[in-house]
Structure formats: structure tokens, C-alpha cells
Amino acid sequence: MKKKSIKTLIVGLISFVLIPLNTVTAFAANLSDITYSYSPKAVHITNDYNLKDYLSTSSKNSLNIADYAKSNYVLKYSNPIDVTRTSMAIEIIGHVYPDKIAKYLPFGLGNIITKHTSIIDIGEKSIDSNRWIWDSIAAVIGDNFDNSRSVNSLKFKMNAEDHVDEIIRNPKNKNLKLNKYVMIEVQKDIDNNTLDPMLLKAIEN
């Protein structure tokens, strides 16, 4: 009986010692773990586990990625890339989480534009035929976020189409490639409180 107790104790101690050896600590990806490359008028981001892992810790991290990429683009080419940080952030989310934006796209473009690609190519409107998608979504979400800080904003009393018309007329959006259909669909979701929270949080500062 005594020998059995000693044997049990030894087995227990061995198991206790081995547990740490078989335990793997998981580390979340950092901004520097994401792979970037650059070409004139474009930023290219590898759409892999590190990117998704980094975004999973906070949807606001899409803005961090955009800022990092835009800063490095300036270092390489001495001029800023003509893509807003919000449009870039929304495009990153749109490719990593296609379901977040597919419903806003007309003519079955959702399945084509948002299908998984190994590289996310983010380009200026002169070379990126899809820039209108990301600019349109970002312009509406950005405008609503800005106006949520203004309690007396008259825009909250507008219908979706009137609100979008005002966004399009806003001088700060004059260089953006905007699509009214997409913008109205996004605005309707905002008005109905059905916009995916990840999209709204993606542009919060």
C-alpha cells in the first residue's frame, strides 16, 4: 500500500513537470508581422493569418495598418498615396471579412470583388478600378461618425438619399470616386442600426 502511494506521487510529479513542456503560448500578431510591398500609386498587403490575427484583436487596427502603409509609402516615394486612410481601412476589412460589405455591391459584384485574394492591392483611383467601392463606403461611415459628435446635426433628420447627396456635395469628398447606390445602401443600414459594428469601429480614432 505504501509502495503504491509513492508510485502515485512520482507519476503525479512527472506529469506536473511535463505540463509546461507541452504548453505553447500563443502570441497575437503585431503590426510589423504583416507583409507590405509598394509600387507607384499602390500599396500591397499580404492577406494571411498574421493580418487576420492582428485585425481580430481590434477592428480599429485596420486604421493602424492604413497609417503604417501610408507612412512607408511616403518614405519610399516621397509623396503620399492618394487614398484616404478610411478608404484603405475599409478595403482591408472588406477583403479579410468579405461578408461585411458584399451586400452593398450591385450587380453581383460582391462575390467577385470580395473573394479571398492572397494579396490586397490598394491603389489610387487612376489605376484601381474598385476604388469607388471603398471610397463610397468610407465616405458615408466617416460622415456619420463625424456627425455623431454633433448633437444638433440636421443630417440625422434626413432620409438616406438626401443625406448621401449632401455627403457627395461635401468639398472634402470632391476627389473621391463615389457611387450613390452603394452609399445609400450603407446609409440605410446606419439609419436602421444594422451596420456591422466592425465597419463603424474601423474608422474611430
Give 130-177 as a DSSP string.
THHHHHHHHHHHHHHHHHTT-TT-GGGGS-HHHHHHHHHH-GGGTTS-
Q: Is residue 159 part of a domain?
A: yes
Residue-level pLDDT at 157: 65
In a domain, 44, yes or no: yes
What proportions of the chain, in percent to the nearest 5, are helix, strand and coil? 60, 5, 35
Split at pLDDT 50, 70, 90, the class of 114 is low
Domain count, the chain: 1
Residue 3 lies in a domain: no
**171 is in which domain, residue-wise?**
31-201
Q: Is residue 2 part of a domain?
A: no
Provide the pLDDT for residue 80: 98
Torsion of the alpha carbons at 131, 199, 164 and 116, rounded to the nearest 10: 30
Cell of 168: 457627395
**Residue 199 pLDDT grade (very low, low, confident, very high; cuts 50, 70, 90):** confident
Assess if residue 137 is contained within a domain. Answer: yes
Identify whether 20 is part of a domain: no
Establish if 70 belongs to a structural domain: yes
Give, in order, the Cα–Cα distances in Å from 189 to each of 82, 112, 186, 195, 197: 28, 22, 5, 5, 11
Q: Residue 117 and residue 109: Cα distance in Å, rounded?
A: 15
Give the model confidence (pLDDT) of 116-159 as tens digits: 678 999 999 999 999 999 999 999 998 887 665 443 444 556 89
Q: Record the pTM.
A: 0.79
Classify 108 in phi/psi space as left (phi over 0), alpha (psi -120 to 50) or beta. left
Q: pLDDT by residue (tens digit) across 21-50? A: 333 334 567 888 999 999 999 999 999 999
> Is 53 a member of any domain?
yes
Query: Could you tell me which of 6, 60, 42, 49 has the C-alpha nearest to residue 126?
Result: 42
